[in-house]
Amino acid sequence: MEVLIKGLDYVVTQDDERRVLRGASILIKDGEIEEVGHVGGPADEVIDGRGMIAIPGLINTHSHIPMTLLRGVADDMDLFPWLQEKIWPMESHLRPDHIRAGTTLGVLEAVRTGTTTIFDMYFFEDVVAEVLSRLGMRGVLSEAIIDFGTPECKEVDECMALADRLVRKWRDHPLIEPGYGPHAPYTVSPENMEEISNRAKESGSVIQIHLAETEKEVAEVRDKYGKGPIELAHESGVLGSRTVAAHVVWPSREEISLLRETSTLVSHNPVSNLKLASGISPVPELVGGGVRVSLGTDGPASNNTLDMFETMKVTALIHKVSRRDPKAVPAQMALDMATRIPGDFVRWKVGRICEGYRGDIVLLNVRVPWWVPLHSVVSHLVYSARSTDVRYVLIDGEVILEDGRFIKGDEEEIFAEAEKASLDLLEKSGVGSLLKGVN
């Protein structure tokens, strides 16, 4: 199967030289990019690239996809009341059908906003994996593990067993990379974090964990254990080159060194952190200290979208103002955080448009006012582009979004199933709808 994307205005390769090619074409054969440049000849499928630019598919390194069902039910709240009064009561009623509906909506949203690989840590991850594989989405999926249980398991040993099963079942799938998700040091004991680490290392699996998200978390962990969350995770063996640490808003200087020394990937979630008033992660210090930093949206209940274009722009802007330095996070750095850097973390060759890489490609329409005049493609991608500019999405060389149309399912049916599942959770939990009394 050959796909030719012909006559693009620009191709943002994200190769080592960060080349942007003008008037180029891309040939994909059996899911792999075979040639980039002046490519011609016949192909099984030809996409007219005129008026569009190609970028590597964006990589969202922290999300809770099924939380699309909780979008907007608990806004303008502090993190812990948000969790304890709204989110956890609703989540306690989650069942596989809810997860299926929420994940399907989340995949639709991610694809329509230019994401081709999404990291997820939640419950019923086997169902999440089934949905992603059916819809052709690439996913790094970790079963959430909490000492006091989850909606899927009553106690921590059962949670670990579910994660083991996820790893065994999905480890050889071409689109799914399974792993373990110890929730955080305030919900998982050091002993259990160590056990999870051992299981992950034995199977070569990824670990996803929330670390140092709020000042309150850091203070509570220090009071209980005499050290910060990142240091505690390190001593428990959780940090490492196969670990994603989400948030990292309040690391100490010593903990930044630990993240660098262990090659841990940090997932920066600026929109969620701003909305929950958790703080601004010291990304310039992390990058300057040699830490790998990627970007994530967090779940749709705390963002409230899975829009990585918004995440790139917010990332570039907030660090400029917080450091009073317009060069703190340049556009190219933000784009790297959404493509190359997480692409080097996963087992697939993604995050670049280069020969030998997988055909995960997003095409954006640039025949819109906010792209004109086009003096800098990378600058426009971060500061001007909107996710609604996305016209085509290919994953593993397969067209998933065609001229703005999701071809893996009926959008109206997806919306209806998600709304039905969300209302069911609201009724069962007693949280209630915000639309009561609205005419």
Domains present along the chain, CATH in parentheses: 2-57+351-406 (2.30.40.10), 59-343 (3.20.20.140)
Where does the pLDDT of residue 109 fall: very low under 50, low under 70, confident under 90, or very high at 90 and above? very high
Question: Of all residues in the chain, what percent are helix, strand and coil, respectively (each to 5)?
Answer: 40, 20, 40
**CB–CB of 102/418 below 8 Å?**
yes
* pLDDT given at position 9: 98
How far lies 324's CA from each of 283, 320, 328, 375, 380, in Å? Answer: 14, 6, 8, 25, 22
Q: For residue 46, what is the enclosing H or E element?
A: strand 45-48
Query: Is residue 196 pLDDT above 50, yes or no?
Result: yes
Write the pLDDT tens digit of every residue in 244-253. 999 999 999 9
Query: Is residue 385 pLDDT above 50, yes or no?
Result: yes
Q: Give strand pairing partners of 321.
A: none
* pLDDT given at position 438: 46
Q: How many helices (H) and strands (E) are present in the chain, helices listed first?
A: 16, 19
Beta-strand runs (E) in 270-425: 292-295, 361-365, 390-395, 398-402, 405-406
Angstrom distance (rounded) from CA 47 to CA 58: 20
Angstrom distance (rounded) from CA 78 to CA 306: 21
Residue type, 202: E
With a pLDDT cut of 70, the percent of the chain lying above it is 98
* pLDDT given at position 82: 83
* pLDDT given at position 83: 83
* pLDDT given at position 126: 98
The alpha carbon of residue 115 and the mean position of all alpha carbons in its chain are separated, in whole angstroms, by 8
* Structure-block tokens of residue 343: 């692409």
Query: Is residue 437 pLDDT above 80, yes or no?
Result: no
Q: Which residues contact 132 (CB under 8 A, 6 or more apart)?
A: 103, 107, 118, 138, 139, 141, 175, 176
Can you tell me the mean pLDDT for 85-89? 87
Beta-strand relationship, 206-211 and 176-182: parallel
**CB–CB of 118/137 below 8 Å?**
yes
* Neighbour order of strands in the sheet with 398-402: 20-22, 10-12, 52-56, 361-365, 390-395, 398-402, 405-406
Write the pLDDT tens digit of every residue in 110-132. 999 999 999 999 999 999 999 99
The 3-state DSSP class for residue 332 equals: helix
* pLDDT given at position 432: 63
* pLDDT given at position 436: 54
Q: Give strand pairing partners of 125.
A: none
Write the pLDDT tens digit of every residue in 25-65. 999 999 999 999 999 888 999 999 999 999 999 999 999 99
Alpha helices in 12-64 (DSSP H): none
Beta-strand runs (E) in 218-315: 243-247, 265-268, 292-295
Where does the pLDDT of residue 434 fall: very low under 50, low under 70, confident under 90, or very high at 90 and above? low
Q: Give strand pairing partners of 33.
A: 28
- For residues 33, 35, 40, 43, the Cα torsion angle rounded to the nearest 10 degrees is -20
* pLDDT given at position 430: 81
Shortest CA distance to 187 belongs to which of 239, 133, 152, 224?
Answer: 224
Can you tell me the mean pLDDT for 207-233? 97
* pLDDT given at position 439: 45
Beta-strand runs (E) in 221-366: 243-247, 265-268, 292-295, 361-365
- pTM of the predicted protein model: 0.97
